[in-house]
Amino acid sequence: MAEKMTVEKAGEILGKGFHCSQCVMWHAADKLGLDKDMMLQVSGGLGGGCFHGEICGAVSGGVMAIGAKYGYHTPEGAVANNPKLIAKTQEFEKKFKEKYGTVVCKELLGGYSFANPDEMAKIMTEGLTRNCPGFCAGACDILDEVLDEE
């Protein structure tokens, strides 16, 4: 069983150079018994809203974890699992949006995106990522709720 993701633990993970998506997948890999190295690698490109300010990496990481539990790889699996996959994904995103007001990285960062070099500099110099450990910990709490419901 995975330990609770705290703001402090999320801050440590992010401080090592990982992205929000990877922080959430770190937790999900422990929770679901997944290969952590592989999950960190495949979720790396989702940070910063895929580095252009769209869906928050913590949300994308959570959706990947939901897919790991409820996803499928066969047409038969689609019939059996797709309704639950859709419902769990929508529930996760709804709860995140209710808690933080948006699922969009740029909006969470005060309107700035990593895609624009000037805006990225502002994000870094003004410490606009200071709330990201909280977003990651919150996403993990929501993920735990969504995955544990049955």
Cβ-contact 69, 149 below 8 angstroms: no
Cβ-contact 62, 143 below 8 angstroms: yes
How many CA atoms lie within 13 Å of 16's alpha carbon, on the beta-carbon side?
A: 11
Prediction pTM value: 0.94
CA distance linking residue 75 with residue 22, whole number of Å:
29
Longest CA–CA separation in the chain, Å: 50
Per-residue confidence of the chain (150 residues) as pLDDT tens digits?
A: 678 999 999 999 999 999 999 999 999 999 999 999 999 999 999 999 999 889 999 999 999 999 999 999 999 988 999 999 999 999 999 999 999 999 999 999 999 999 999 999 999 999 999 999 999 999 999 999 999 876
CA distance linking residue 44 with residue 59, whole number of Å:
13
